[in-house]
Structure 1
Amino acid sequence: MTVSICTLAHGRSTHLANLVTGLSQSDVLPDELVIAVMQDNAYDLPGAPFPVRQRILGSGAIPLARARNTAAREAKGELLIFLDVDCIPHPACVPDYIAASRSHGGVFMGEVGYLPKGSTDAGVDFALFESVAVRHSERPGPPARGLRACEDYRCFWSLNFAMSADLFRASGGFDEAFDGYGGEDTDFGRTLSSQHVPLSWVKGAKAYHQYHPHFMPPVHHLNSILANAATFARKWGHPTMQHWLRAFVLMGLVERTEKGWRKLRDPGESEFALTRQQADQPYASSALVLAALEAQALTT
């Protein structure tokens, strides 16, 4: 079985270099790495024992759906493994996905371990990563072994997943009507559900998420989230990203009208301070921020 790793990148050159270095230590090497580059210039990357191909999409936007489709379309492998630019695959990630795809059909989601700040300062050290990485508290844990069916397709997460190239093409890929950040994963999961494609959690197939400052809920993507929420509602007849939108309402950034969500103002420093991931946190948490906002609302 031939394997293509598909990723997309905008900035974060050190993260991408670490992905390449980690992937080079895989127990089973992929046949290629395909990178959809969402900027004008290609990356200067470390050498790798497999071909690395960069497809330049240009700057000016972060079209996540189009970038994933581009990487998948350019890929030549029978199995596509999608990893975000800030992921470092465990040496067993590729063979774990190969084993899953040989025994089951559908879409597979592997484990993710979040690394604290500074974990990659000395380079790629899998023993260190395994000792310090933590699971995201808002994501389901992996099965004890093998695979476990994911019954809630809203849990689909493009950070670390795999599926056959044939199935990706048959699904239609990511809907490029979702432009920028927000909603494209939930839409793809909804599409898989409508097509009765099995979705499974995998024990193993692990990737380590490299630390980077982040905002959650993602107030820095307010405009694209509002636009993509409207796209999702028109397409499926029901809303999505409601926990983020609820937080934006409580912050006074948006309001809900009969015609959908309406922006009231841009976020300011107080909203960025509230949602900013702190240096001592390996990941940002929407649930904690929303709980704080709900508690504050009860007292006002």
Structure 2
Amino acid sequence: MTAFNSVSVLTLIRGRQAHFDHLIAGLRAQVSQPDELVVAYMQPDPPDYPDDLTFSVRCVRVDGDPLPLAKARNSAAKAAEGDVLAFLDVDCIADTQFVRRAREACAADARQVFLPEVRYLPAQQGSWMTDAEVPDYEKLKAHGERHPAKPNLEDCSIAPIDDFGELWGLSFILSRGTWKDAGGMDEAYIGYGAEETDFAERLRASGAQLYWLGGTICFHQHHTVCKPPLQHFDTIVRNARTFHDRWGRWCMDYWLDDFARRGLVRRSGDELQVLRRPSRSEVEASEQPPHVRFS
């Protein structure tokens, strides 16, 4: 076992101050506090946060448009000082065991990458906080829904993952050394899509392995879902081409296939041709009603 004592929680933000407030509340409720929260902010000013936290907050500005997600994660990792890097989406409220499980998992095997369970919350059903301004975990558990494509981890400590495509940005945990061995994220990916899948391939190439991590849940706060994400059409196409250039295969096939069915693109072998961009009405029609929690 390796001695891993310090944990940095890392998050990215553009807007979503209310969601960030809830993320902070979740970290304050941890049975084992993080050593720091590193915030890569992709907006003019850093987000607001309380001045009485028991852990430090380090804010790093990341410029760029569209969303420079890969660059922001690299910037957060570079600024972090912890032995363990626990990436947590700004929309997530971690349960009280998140930091403890992150520390334990990396101490048990510092070469691996761990994916906690995520449960999706519905559009706001009142406040997710108690009157004492701490997360109402009973309510969160009652309303959180597991993605149907993800396993039930209630009776699981850790379990290996064969498909590296399971890596997702909502939450993943790894040691600083594993992050460095993989080389961080490729900043050629700009905007939405593919940077996580590319990082998974980098992890595979570096010899790391993915594991599901039981014993903790991250509750994803609701925001509008678009199916498919036509608002990100340009960056998805660009990043899909970049990924193909890197790895000789396509990613985001489900979105590219949907684009093809709509007559937006044509994919043949190594070529991805844009036939037309989606209209404003098509983008608006892709927005799902509030009861839809995930794509």
User: Which residues of structure 2 form unaligned runs of 5+?
Assistant: 130-134
Q: 1:277 deviation in Å?
A: 2.6
CA distance in 1, matches of 2:165, 2:190: 19
Q: 1:119 to 1:78 in 2, by over 3 A?
A: farther
Cα 1:244–1:26 shift into 2, 3 Å: same
Say which SS state the counterpart of residue 146 (structure 2) adopts: coil
What is the CA distance between 1:221 and its match in structure 2?
0.6
Greater Cα offset, 114-123 or 237-246: 114-123
Partner of 2:183: 172
Q: State whether residues 87 and 170 of structure 2, in contact with CA within 8 Å, keep that contact through their aligned partners in structure 1.
A: yes
2:140 matched to which residue of 1?
Answer: 129
Query: Residues 40 and 59 of structure 1 are in contact (CA less than 8 Å); yes or no, is this contact kept in structure 2?
Result: no
- 1:101 equivalent to 2:112? Answer no
Query: Which residue, out of 71, 81, 84, partners 1:79?
Result: 84
* Partner in structure 1 of residue 254 of structure 2: 243
Matches of 2:147 and 2:280, distance apart in 1: 26
Q: Can you list the C-alpha shifts for 1:14-37, whole angstroms capped at 9, x where unaligned?
A: 111110111111111100000000
Instruction: Give deviations 1:118-172, integer Å, cap 9, x for gaps.
Output: 1462523111001110001133333732111000111111211100112111210
Task: Work out the CA distance in 2 between the residues paired with 1:145 and 1:64.
Answer: 31
Q: How many Å apart are 1:266 and its aligned residue? A: 2.5
1:178–1:184: 8 Å Cα contact kept in structure 2? Answer: yes
2:134 maps to 1:118: no
- SS state of the match for residue 233, structure 1? helix
Identity of paired residues, percent? 36
Deviates more, 1:94-103 or 1:56-65: 56-65
Contact 2:182 2:205 in 1 (8 A): no
- In 1, Cα distance between the equivalents of 2:251 and 2:218? 27
CA RMSD in angstroms comes to 1.7
Post-superposition Cα deviations, 1:171-206, rounded to whole Å, max 9, x if no partner, equal 101111111111011111111112221110011232
Residue deviations 1:199-254 (CA, integer Å, cap 9, x gap): 10011232100001121321111111111111111111111111110001111221
- Superposed CA deviations along residues 102-127 of structure 1, whole A, max 9, x for unmatched, are 22231000010101111462523111
What are the ranges of 5 or more consecutive residues in structure 1 without an aligned counterpart?
286-300
Please say if residues 69 and 174 of structure 1, whose CA atoms lie closer than 8 Å, have aligned partners that are also in contact.
Answer: yes
Deviations 1:64-108 (A, max 9, x none): 101001101100000110001101110111111112112223100
SS at match of 1:200: strand
Q: CA deviation at 1:52?
A: 1.0
Q: Does 1:49 align with 2:54?
A: yes
Aligned with residue 284 of structure 1, among 260, 269, 294 = 294
Contact 1:276 1:284 in 2 (8 A): no
Distance 1:15 1:139 in 2: 23
Equivalent position of 1:145 in the other structure? 156
Distance 1:46 1:214 in 2: 30
CA contact (8 A) 1:39 1:59 kept: no
Deviation string 1:257-283 (CA, Å, 9 cap, x unpaired) is: 5662222222235533553231122x2
1:2 equivalent in structure 2: 6
3-state SS of the aligned residue for 2:215? coil
- Equivalent AA in structure 2 for residue 50 of structure 1: F
Q: Give the Cα–Cα distance (whole angstroms) in 2 for the partners of residues 158 and 141 of structure 1.
A: 19
* Deviates most, 51-60 or 126-135: 51-60
Shift of 1:45: 1.9
Q: Distance in 2 between matches of 1:22 and 1:242?
A: 35
* Structure holding more strand per residue: 2
1:31 aligned residue: 35
Supply the distance in 1 between the matched residues of 2:128 and 2:62 (Cα, whole angstroms): 32
Aligned to 1:253: 264
TM-score (norm 2): 0.91
Match of 2:242 in 1: 231
